[in-house]
Structure 1
Amino acid sequence: MSATYYAPQGGHPGQEQLLTDRAIFTEAYAVIPKGTMRDIVTSFLPFWDKTRLWVIARPLSGFAETFSQYIMEVAPGGGSDQPEADPAAQAVLFVVEGTATLTVDGEEHHLDEGGYAYLPPRAEWTLHNTTDEMLRFHWIRKAYEAVPGLDQPDIIIANEKEIAPTVMPDTDGKWATTRFVDPADLRHDMHVTIVTFEPGGVIPFLETHVMEHGLYVLEGKAAYRLNNDWVEVEAGDFMWLRAFCPQACYAGGPGKFRYLLYKDVNRHVGLRPMFGPRP
């Protein structure tokens, strides 16, 4: 299976360009379109050489609660021997352009386009771009919620091109999900999957559920229902959906519509007072 994934290139629009774009930020959802991912909004991280990134989600009042998501851009010769500063953070890496040399617990792996890595908390890992081409990948981070009696998950190294998608029942193959983690493995408290809609495929009802979502469009375009609104999205756009935000989708074509999906799973809802201590 051949796959193409959109990756931002940066740059700046010309002064003659209109200001109008599709960026939306609401209490229920946000759309960060690809046109906003310019040089001026990049960030940098300690101990990462020849690297910049776009932060497209982070824990923030009124925004993402459970995760952060970066689009990393590593120039040839760049990378890090100290990539993660938080020992409680688990990570998913997904390569959209180039090749990453990832070393985990002393074992070296080469992640090409479509490459996936799950890195549990406290994993010893480094990442470098040892090629002559730019490397771009998604880095999704979440503080791991340990459960007494459950071990933490194992390291997973995979490539989506080698995984058969799971077709949703009663969809004639028009809606499928590529899963990197067994849904029955309750050690995991987050899933990162790839959702694929063939032209004409739909989410045929307004999904309304407790899971928070981050959706990065890898390929194609679609009309997406977010709360009360229909929005058009295309490759390179990012959507954040808070818990219980109604959602649906219509993929009109002409090609496949595919996105990288984050969601929190498999844990009790935290119970804590919202306004000070309980009596």
Structure 2
Amino acid sequence: MKPSYLSEEAISTFIESAFAEDIGPGDYSSLSAIPSGKTGHAKLLIKGNGIIAGVELAEKIFKTFDSNLQVELLVKDGDEVKFGDIGLIVSGPSASILSSERLVLNCMQRMSGIATLTHRLTEKILHTKARLMDTRKTTPNFRLMEKWAVHIGGGVNHRFALYDMVMLKDNHVDFAGGIEAAIAQTKAYLKENNLDLKIEVETRNLEEVAEVIEIGGIDFIMLDNMDYATMRKAVEMVGDNFKTEASGGITEETLVDVAECGVDFISMGALTHSVQSMDISLKAF
């Protein structure tokens, strides 16, 4: 099942905006060099190993630009691919293939890199109850696709944006005047504005964990930058009262140790902010 943020309207808006950025008044290279009426074929070449993502999006991009383009999908999102595989074949007006090529590749290369990393890291912690989550550390105007790629790779999407969940981080707590004040003011605001949102509170030490547990009325406790011993103690203190999320500087090397502390979720900004794209190209034939 697709995440709720992947509405047809949201995807269409992204595609239209991306085309406006890349093509503007016209792709003059293709318009000038390709004879009117010329048709052709091109295949999507996979030049890396991993999890493919953005296939469904690619079809939408081609069809949005020119409904006369025909797309034959040879793989689907989430499939494992290897060097030399062909992802799809697009046929139709040659100029249209060329004009939409770069947007398809830009999206699929990055999305496949994210899905591949997410899948690899998720596999490492399958023996624990922890689930891998993304963050808001995404590329402006490309969050939709980056979070979609995390989902395709088997990860969990955290809140999509600032409006669909309350997260009281250290700066919120400090500016509000402490944990108790931050939670109280948040709950009053949500009630006054008839908002039904989950609340997560970041904690930096066991004293703050204990304070959040005592105050209650929230849904998630974030354990930020804690060492393993402290994290295990925090998980023990929280018990089944709230869900726990480990966050802060977690790497592929430390991921398993963190998961084995017993947390419910592990958030990693690296899933989206420093991933290596998969090498993919489009070749006429």
| TM-score under structure 1 length normalisation | 0.29
Question: Which structure shows the bigger proportion of residues in helix conformation?
Answer: 2
Larger Rg: 2
| TM-score under structure 2 length normalisation | 0.28
Question: Which structure shows the bigger proportion of residues in strand conformation?
Answer: 1
